[in-house]
Structure 1
Amino acid sequence: MLNKNDLNKLLDFTLEIQNIDYDFRQKTLNMISELFNYDNMNFFFYDLDRNDINLCNPISTKTVEKAMNSYIKHYFYKDIFHKAYSSSLNNNLYHNKVITVKDLMSSYNFTQSEYYNDFLRYYDWDNQIVLPLNYNNRQLGVIAILKQDGQNDVTTYEYCLLSKINEIITQSLNMYLKEFESNQEANIFKSSYSVIPTGLMILNYQFSHIYTNDTAKEYCKIISENRNYFSPTKNEYINKIVDLLTSDYHKNNNNEINIDSYTFKIYPFIVSSTYHTIETMYTIYITEDEQPEKIHEKKLINYKLTKRELEIINLLLKGLTNTEIADQLFLSSHTIRTHIQNIYAKMDVNNRTALLYKLNS
C-alpha cells in the first residue's frame, strides 16, 4: 500500500519525533498536520494511575478555543469515542491503530447522537478519527482528528499511513513518558529533601557523593571550617568529609560515625545498575549533636528563668567565678550574686555544687 515516497516520509517522521526534547504533544500534532493537512486535532494524555482516559491538560492544533472549552466542559463524556475506552470495548477494536466512527456505530446512529448534533455540527465537523496510543497494554494517550463537513471519509491509504504513524508515536511517547516520570520523581525528591532539617547524602558503591541536600552541605562546610580544610569549592569540602567517613566506615565497620559535633548514620541499599547488575549504594543521614547549653535550656524551661539567669548558668557551667561572670557581662559582683541567689531559689538548691549536680543529673 505504501510507496517509496511514503516510506521516506515515515523515516523522516521517525527521526524528527525522536529529537523532540520538550512539548512532545504539540510538536507531534504539528508534524501530523504537515503530513496530512489536518487542521483540527486534539492530544490527550491518559491518567497514568488509572485505567480510564483523563483530560490531562488537553492541547489542540488549530481548534478554536471556544470549541475546545466547550468540549472539555460539556461534551468529553458524551464523545462516542469515550466509550471506546470503557471496559465494554471489544478487545480487537482496542488493539486497532486507527478507530473510526464506523467501527463503533452506523452512520445513522452517529448522526442521531447528541455529540454529533450539539457539538460537531455546530463547528461544521462531520467526522472523527482516533489514534489510541497503547504500548504493551498500557494506555498512554489518544490523538483525535476532526474532519470538516464535506471532507472524505478515511481512505484505505490514509488508514494505512495513520496506522504506521501511530506505531511511531506510541514508541516515542512511551520513551518520553518514562523519561518525564523519572525526571519528575527526581525533582520531587530533590525539592523535598533539599529543605529538610536533617542532612542527607547519597553515595555510590565507590563512596563518591552523588547527591547532597542543602543541610548536609552546610554541616560539611562547618566541619571543614572548624578543621581548617582548604575548600575553594563546595565539592572539595564535601569530598573531605566523605573521605573521613570512608576511612572510619571501612576501618571499624561502624554504621554510626561521629565527626566533631555531628552524627553520620550510614544505611546501605541495593539498586539495579544500567547493565542489569546489582550495586550497593549508601544513604547517609546527618544530625547535629545537641550542645550542653541546649540540653540545659530544655531542663530549665520549667523553672521560669530569665534570659540573664540562663546566661549566668551557662557561664557557671564553664567554671567561671562570680567576678569573672561580672566582668564578662559588664555587671557588678553584687548584681551577679543577686541573680545567683534568685536562681538558687527558683531551682530549690542552696549552693553552686547542688546547682551543677542538678543540671548534670
Structure 2
Amino acid sequence: MTDSQWWQPHRHTDRRPALLARNRIQRAIRLWLDDHGFTEVDPAALAISPGNETHLHGFATSMIGNDGIGRDMYLHTSPEFAMKKLLAAGEQRIAAFSHVWRNRERGALHHPEFTMLEWYRVGQDYTALMEDCSDFLRLAAEAAGADTLRFRDAVCDPFAAPDRISVADAFTAHAGIDLLATISDDGAVDRDGLARQMRSADISFAPGESWSDLFSRVLSERIEPHLGHGRATILDRYPVPEAALARRAADDPRVSERFELYACGVELANGFGELTDPVEQRRRFRADMEERARIYGDPYPLDEDFLSALPLVPDASGIALGFDRLVMLATSAPSIEAVMWAPVPDPA
C-alpha cells in the first residue's frame, strides 16, 4: 500500500535509516565499478521506443520541436538501447544508475519509476556478470550492516555463492515438465505439448493462452517460489522464445545466454550474452510487437537507430539490476517504496 504522506516528519524519521543505507550501498557499488574499470554513463531518459518486449508498458509523451509540431516519444523502460549504442561507439566497460519508468506496475516489488543499475562488459562471457552479482549482494549487505538479505519471511545469505540452475532443469525439478521437448531447434514451440504437461502437473490455464503465457504461468507458480532461499539462485539458459535481446547458446539452439538472479524469492537482475545480429533482433521485436498488438492494442515503434548501431556492437555481456529491490532486501524493508527517498504519488 502506498504511503502517500511519507513526507510527514515522524514518517521520515522512521524511513531515514533505510534511505541512508541506500546511499551507502550505492556508494559502495560505485567504488567497486570504478575499481573494476567501469565508466559511469548517463543515458537520456527520452527515447523513440520505450522498449520492445511484449509486456513492458511505457509512459508516452510528446516532444515539441522548434516548428511547434509534437512528435511521440517515451520515457525509457531501460537504458539498454542507449548503452548499446555507446558500445557501438567504442566504449568497453560501462555502467549507469538510471531512473526508468514502467506503466501498469505498482506494488511491494514494483513502482512506476525506479532505479536500475545496468552494466556491460565487452569481450567477456555472460558468466562474468554472475560473479558481479555475487559481489553486489555482498557489498549491499556490508554497506547496510546486515548479515542476511530478507523479504518478509524469506532469508538469503549474501555471502554464500549463488546456486545455478537452468530453466529446463528447474521446470523438471519443480513442475515435472520437460520444457525443451516443446521447443524445436529453429525456435518453434509446441504450445499444445506444454499444455498437456501442465494438465498432468495440475497447473491450470486459460484456453487462449500462448506458449509464452503458459511458460510464464509455470515460472511464477511453480519455479520462482523456490528460488533464492538460503542463498541466491541464478536461473540460467532461458528458452529462445524468451531470449529477448540475448543470443542463442552455442551448444543448444533451443536456449539462450540469458539468466535471472533471485534472492529471497525476489527477481533482482536480468543478464544477457548480447545478441548483435540486427536481422534476428528485428524479427524478435516484430514478433513481440505483433503479440503486444494482439493483447494490448498498442505496439511500440522500433528504434531504427538502435538496429542500425547493432552491427557495430562487439561481443559483449550486459545486465540490469533493480537497485531499489537490492536495497529493500539489504535493509529488510517491506517494500521498495520504503527505500525510495520520494516515492511517486498515487493519483488514485
TM-score, L = length of structure 1:
0.22
| Larger fraction in helix | 1
Structure with higher RCO (Cα < 8 A, 6+ apart): 2
Max Rg structure: 1
TM-score, L = length of structure 2:
0.23
| Larger fraction in strand | 2
